[in-house]
Amino acid sequence: MKKWIIEKRKQGSEIWVSSNVQPESILVGEGYEKKEYKRSMELAKVIAKALNEHEKKPLDLSKHPEYESQQDQYYSESTQRHP
């Protein structure tokens, strides 16, 4: 199962949320100043928690028809009859 964690890069001046399935990462912010670092870390905690909770839920694509694959979409368009 995919797990999201908070990473600090470039000697702690970049805050990232990364998954254990690489190369999926989200740059949250830069922590060059104390106030900016604190804000970025708080945001990273919220993002990591939300992504980890989302990963626990089963994915039901029937509720999201917009995720139809391009191949399926091409097939359905090419088999339709045109007047």
- What string of DSSP letters covers the chain? ---EEEEEETTTTEEEEEESSTT-EEEEEE-SSHHHHHHHHHHHHHHHHHHHHHHHSPP-GGG-GGG--HHHHHHHHHTS---
Contact 43, 29 (CB under 8 A): yes
Domain ranges, ordered by start, for the chain: 4-78
The alpha carbon of residue 50 and the mean position of all alpha carbons in its chain are separated, in whole angstroms, by 10
82, amino acid identity: H
> What is the per-residue pLDDT for 78?
52
> What is the per-residue pLDDT for 38?
92
> What is the per-residue pLDDT for 52?
93
> What is the per-residue pLDDT for 31?
83
Q: What is the mean pLDDT of each run of 10 residues along the chain (83 residues)?
A: 90 91 87 90 95 83 62 53 51
